[in-house]
Each structure stands twice: as C-alpha cells, then as structure tokens.
Amino acid sequence: MIISKKNKGKKTYYYLQQTIREKGKVMVKEKYLGNKIPKDIAQIKKSFQKTLKKELYEKLESIKENFQEEWKRIPESVKKKELEEISIAFTYNTNAIEGSTITLEETRGIIHDKISPTKPIRDVKESEMHSKIFLEMLEKKQEMSNSLLLYWHKNIFQDSKSEIAGKFREYLVRVGDHLAPDWQDVKKLMNSLISFINKNEERINVVELAAIAHYKFEKIHPFGDGNGRIGRLLMNQILWHNNYPMLVIEYKNRKSYYKALKKDEENFIKYFLRRYLSVHKKRYMK
C-alpha cells in the first residue's frame, strides 16, 4: 500500500493506493485522503486494508459455499471416483515439482489401474504411497500434530528413502540460498507451528491459515527430503477439513511457486491467495 499524489493545476491531492488482482486483471484500489496527508494516516491505512480484506473474505466464503453445494449434489458413488481423480492430479503435480519422472498418465495407471510403468521403482512407490496417504487424509479428519506429519512422511518414503522416512532431520540443510534452522531447533519450531495451526483454525481465515502453515513449514524444513510434498498435504488438509476446495500447485506453475516461497511470509500469502482465487474463480463469480 502506497500514498500517491496527483497534481491538478496548482493543487496537490493525496490518495492511498493498493494494487490487487481481480477478474484476471491487475487493478488499483484508491482512497482519497485530501490535499494533505492526515495525521491519523496509520489508522486510515488499517481501515482501508480492512475494507479490501472484507471483499477478499466475501470471495473466499462464496468459493466455500458454492463448493459445498456442488459437492452435496454429487452422488456418493461418484464422489469416490472424483476424489481419485483429484488424487491423481495432486500426486502427479506434487511429485513432478520434486523431480519425479512419472507422467500424469503413468500416475493414473499406478493409482487407478495398479499398473507399474518402466520407471525408477523409487518414483513408482512414492506415487503409489502418496495417493494412499492423500486419500486417507481426506477421509479421516485428524487434529494436526507432529505424529501425523511423521506418519505421512514414513508411509510415503519408507520404500524409497527408508533411512530418513518418518524422522525429523538431525543435520543442517540448505534449500537454494535459504539455510534452514539448526536441526536442534526443529522440534521446538514444529511444536510452535502445530500449536499455531490448531489455535487459529477458527480465528484466521482458513485459506490464509493454509498459506501461512505451508510457508512456515517449508521454512522450518523439518525433514531431510520430502518437505514440499508433506507441506502441500498439510495445506490441503487444512482446506479440506474446513470445507474449502483444495489447491493443486501445478508443475507448470512451479517457477512462480518457488519464487513466492523465496519471498517473505506476507508476499507468499498474497501469491497463495491469487492462485487460489484464480483456480476457483468460477465459484465466486457465480
């Protein structure tokens, strides 16, 4: 949010400006301040931000309500097939982002047809077990905990990375130019993150909470490998079990996703919300 000024003749007028993305276009929202900057500008900024947030939350609530209406209309016998399709798409994309060689159609073969392609057995097993854990996560609502995250990690990676599966790291790691926290702090940081998630499910908008949780988890980087996949499961667990549709970060969008993760928390949240609104725009534009 910035303060801009416009000159009209010999007079100068001030405005608050905030850039947002709406209906696929970048737009500027303005609030007139007058011919001088008010003394209570900090309070005016908060009020303006609150107004903009209100519009955002209304869109997110529409997405939630319309998704729930759509889901109720789907026969129970069809829901299972629909969830399997989501599992195929999510498993393919989340693994591809991390370098898996398994294609979308091969993922479908592994999950739906139980056919193993001629690809590294590591990639095949990770696809198979990721889908199993994903579907299990959707079916059974559990309070977020370290035990649950460790369980997911152990099951997904027990056949491909047995030496690290289901264990928090005990060594330093670097992700690009980001040095993850000291391994001795991992458990404390994860306890803090879990507490934050469970305390705020009814205090913070759920989509924002999913974004914050994912960002914080990736910065902690608690596992030796597989952090991206567990982090994306975490965000979708929060969304799904609070009645919001999920978000699949597509492989083709991985560069913008990685770029956003390199930024600070506030900017990652903005990225996440833009992606979420873009993916589900039909649900709030009804």
| pLDDT: which is higher, 285 or 277 | 277
**What is the pLDDT averaged over residues 115-140?**
96
- 3-state helix, strand, coil split of the chain in percent (to 5) is 60, 10, 30
Q: Across the strands, what pairs with 32?
A: 15
Residue 150 has pLDDT above 80, yes or no: yes
Domain boundaries, the chain: 1-35, 56-284
The predicted-structure confidence for 190-239, as pLDDT tens digits, reads as follows 999 999 999 998 889 999 999 999 999 999 999 999 999 999 999 999 99
| Superfamily of chain region 56-284 | Fido-like domain (1.10.3290.10)
Is 221 one of the catalytic residues? yes
Token digits for 160?
């491909």
Mean pLDDT of the residues in the chain: 91
Q: Determine the pLDDT at residue 35.
A: 78
The model's pTM = 0.84
**What is the pLDDT averaged over residues 168-174?**
94
Q: Determine the pLDDT at residue 9.
A: 82
Compute the radius of gyration of the chain from its Cα atoms: 22
The predicted-structure confidence for 225-261, as pLDDT tens digits, reads as follows 999 999 999 999 999 999 999 999 999 999 999 999 9
176: left (phi over 0), alpha (psi -120 to 50) or beta: left
Residue 24 has pLDDT above 60, yes or no: no
Give Cβ neighbours of residue 188 (< 8 Å, ≥ 6 apart): none
The rounded distance, in Å, linking the Cα atoms of 107 and 123 is 10
User: Which candidate in 153, 221, 241, 280 is catalytic?
Assistant: 221
Percentage of the chain modeled with pLDDT above 90: 75
